[in-house]
Structure 1
Amino acid sequence: MEYQRVFIDFWSEVEQSVQENRFAKLTMAKTIGKPNLKNIFLRPIYAEDGFKVLLKIHYRSKDSEDEEKEMTLKQAFGILEPHLKKSFLSVLLFTTSKDVVFKINKKGAGSITENPPTFRDITQAKK
């Protein structure tokens, strides 16, 4: 199955974990080649005015300063999705009930696997 459709299913898991207050962290990992971009993280911000995430873009080079931005989950999707298959081959969703892993194989097909949870508690990002 094409990775884009599978990623939409994966993102539904992300949205559901937010609705159920189980979202702990999301990480884009397994870079393609040796780009300066090392990984991208989303950390939760559960606030009275609604759910937001702190997006952190981490670079390998000390010359490149890491970036942090507070945004909605929908805005984060717009930033993460273009990096699939260009910069990253996997995305890991950590929730308090399970870990969900999205991967793209060499043929461009996407897959989702579930594992026992890594996080028992949610640590909110510092605003």
Structure 2
Amino acid sequence: MNGALLVAAGAAVGAPLRYLTDRAVRARRDPLLPWGTFAANLLGSAVLGLVTGAVQAHGASPQLQLLVGTGFCGALTTYSTFSYETLRLAESGARRWAAVNVAGSLTAGLAAVYAGWGLAGLIG
């Protein structure tokens, strides 16, 4: 299968999962912070770390990287929504919560990608 089709196939799963994750989390959490976007981005970061680690450490197929890393994780995660929701917090007067959203998302996202990458190194 060519690269573009692999990316599209992964995105066809990642995009609906992102929507469903956002809806499920919003139904259970305080709406002040964008927890749905946070959860989707955290999950996508962990999966991307795991897949990247598997490709690097264990010679997993580059096609797996396209399907899951680029397609699935690319559609599951969303920098644009994160940015918009942070801007909306700041404009509504919740500047501290906007800063918490930025710091928390960046810290947790980096920790998740690193944890996924580390887990891939342990699985062997």
TM-score of the superposition, structure 2-length normalised? Answer: 0.26
For the pair shown, which has the larger CA radius of gyration, 1 or 2?
A: 2
Higher relative contact order (CA 8 A, sep 6+): 2
Structure with greater strand share of residues: 1
Structure with greater helix share of residues: 2
TM-score of the superposition, structure 1-length normalised? Answer: 0.25
